[in-house]
Structure 1
C-alpha cells in the first residue's frame, strides 16, 4: 500500500501533507516517521525509493512535509508558498512532528490496525535530524532514533544567525536556493523564536538525555554538515552508534530530481543499516 498526499489538519497551524508506505498484513508493524531537512520536502530526490525499501522490510513508513516548509496541499513539491516558509521556525517543526505522532497513535485513525503503537522510530535528515533528537528527548513514545547527516547545534546555523541588526531592521532576510533559484525568505521571527526557546532547542542537552537506541549516520566528506557534528552527537550520547559513510555527500549521492530506478549505493547503505538497526533494537 502506498498512499500519497494525505492531509493532516492542524487547529493551530497549517495542514501537514504526508505519505504512507506499508504492506497490508494482519501483523502490526513498527512505525517509522521520517523528517526532511532545511529546504527539503517529502518528495525530494529518491525519498520515495527509500520509503519503498522500508515498506519491503515490513515497516510502516511515513514521510511528511513540515507545515511551513514552503509547499502546500495542491503542490507539496518545491516551494510555491514562500510566505509560509518565511514564518517557519524550529518550534513549529517540533509541534508538527508531535502532531504526526499523535495522529498515527490515535485508536480510530485509518491505519491503527497496521501499527504497533509501542514501536516507534523517528528518522531525521540534516535539520530534521536536530528536530528528531529534540522530539525524542521529550517524548517517551519514541523508542528509537536515527539521524542522517544531522546538525548538532541550531545556534550556529545560517538560518538562525547572521547580521542581526540588519535582519531586525528589515524584518526579513533571504537565502538563495541554488537549485530552484528562489530567494527563500526568513522573517526575523525565526531568530526571536530561537532565542525565546533556546533551552528547549539545545540539541546537546537533548542528546545527553536520550536513553533509547540512537543510530548516527553521516558521510565523512559531507560538505554541508561536517562530520564532526556527528562525532559531537556520538560524544554526547555514550550509548549511541556512529556509522560513517565513505565517498558520499550530504544527501548520500542522491539528487533532485532522481530519475533512476535504484537509490545510490551510499544511500542504500544508509537505508539497509537503518532497517537493520530498527529490527535488531
Structure 2
C-alpha cells in the first residue's frame, strides 16, 4: 500500500513523498517509521528503491521515501526537468528538508489511513550515497532519529570536489557535470561548494558521525566505483556507538547490481542481502 503527497520545504517548495505501508494489517497498527533518502542525481523512484521500500514495509514498517526539494526532479517524479533547482541543491537544504519532514510528521501533516498510526518518536533512517551522507548528519541533528543504515555512503563531501570543479566555481560561478544515464549536462553552482565548506561542522558526515550513540549499520560494496568502500570504513571507525556494524558486500558496484529502470522480477542476490541486513537491523532496534 502506498500513499503519496508533499510537504513544503523551508522555501515553500514541495518535498514529494511516498509512504509505504504493509498490506496485511491488524485492527490497530502503530508502525515504526523509516525515512529513505536518495543520493546525488537520484530520486525516490529510482531503480529498485520503490520495491525495496515496499519490501521493508511488508516487514511491519512504515517507510517514507522523499525527494529532496532541490533535487531537480519535478512532478514527473523521474525526469530532471528542474535543473535550476538542482544547480543549487545544498547539503544544508537537504538536511533542512529532513527536518521539515520530521516536523510535518509531528504535526500529523503526513497521516496514514486507518487503522494505521505512525511511531514518530523513534524513527529509523536509510540513505544511499549522498543521501547516506545526509542521513548521518540528520541522525546527529534530529533526536527523533534513533537508528541509522547507510548504503554506499559518502563520508566527506568536501573531499569530492575536483580541482576542475573548484576552478570552474572560482572563474565562472558554476561547474557542469554529465548525467551518465541520461546524457544531460547538469549545472552545479558555487553556492553548493561554499555551503559545504562554510557549514562543515553541521553537514559533513565524518564529523557528525562522531556524535552518534544510536545503532548504526554501514553497508558498502567492496568494488564501489563511485564511492570507495574506504568511506564506509571511515564512518564506521569514527562512530562511537556501542551498537554499530560494517557490512562490506561482494563486488556489486555503487547500487548493488541494480539500475534504472528496474524491471526485473527479483532483486539481484547482493541487493537482496543488503535488504536483509537492513530489515534485520531495524527489526532489532526499532520494532
Fold shared per TM-score above 0.5: yes
Do residues 146 (structure 1) and 149 (structure 2) align? yes
Cα offset, 1:93, TM superposition: 0.3
User: What residue in structure 2 maps to residue 87 of structure 1?
Assistant: 88
Is the CA contact 2:222–2:251 (under 8 Å) kept in the aligned structure 1? yes
Distance 2:196 2:12 in 1: 18
User: What residue in structure 1 maps to residue 135 of structure 2?
Assistant: 132
Paired residue secondary structure (1:200): helix
How is 1:27-176 mapped onto 2 (pairs within 5 angstroms)?
Answer: 27-72=29-74, 74-107=75-108, 109-111=110-112, 113-158=116-161, 162-176=164-178
Cα offset, 1:108, TM superposition: 5.6
Distance 1:27 1:170 in 2: 54
**Gap change, CA 1:161 and 1:140, over 3 Å in 2:** farther
Distance 1:147 1:251 in 2: 12
User: What residue in structure 1 maps to residue 21 of structure 2?
Assistant: 22
**Gap change, CA 1:251 and 1:206, over 3 Å in 2:** same
Count of aligned residue pairs for this structure pair: 278
Distance 2:107 2:283 in 1: 24
Distance 1:60 1:163 in 2: 39
How is 1:187-198 mapped onto 2 (pairs within 5 angstroms)?
Answer: 187-198=189-200
Distance 1:107 1:14 in 2: 19
Is the CA contact 1:161–1:191 (under 8 Å) kept in the aligned structure 2? no
Is the CA contact 2:10–2:97 (under 8 Å) kept in the aligned structure 1? no
Q: Which blocks of at least 5 consecutive residues in structure 1 are unaligned?
A: none
**Gap change, CA 1:161 and 1:53, over 3 Å in 2:** farther
Do residues 248 (structure 1) and 255 (structure 2) align? no
What's the CA shift string for 1:146-173, capped at 9, x where partnerless?
Answer: 1001011111123x76443432321211
What's the CA shift string for 1:233-258, capped at 9, x where partnerless?
Answer: 11111432111111311101000011
Distance 1:244 1:49 in 2: 22
Distance 1:108 1:246 in 2: 41
Distance 2:175 2:12 in 1: 23
What's the CA shift string for 1:95-146, capped at 9, x where partnerless?
Answer: 1111112212224642395211223001000000010000111211101011
Q: Normalising to structure 2: TM-score of the pair?
A: 0.92
Superposed CA RMSD in Å reads 1.7
Paired residue secondary structure (2:3): strand
Distance 2:143 2:216 in 1: 14
Distance 1:79 1:126 in 2: 18
Cα offset, 1:226, TM superposition: 0.6
Cα offset, 1:265, TM superposition: 1.3
User: What residue in structure 2 maps to residue 12 of structure 1?
Assistant: 11
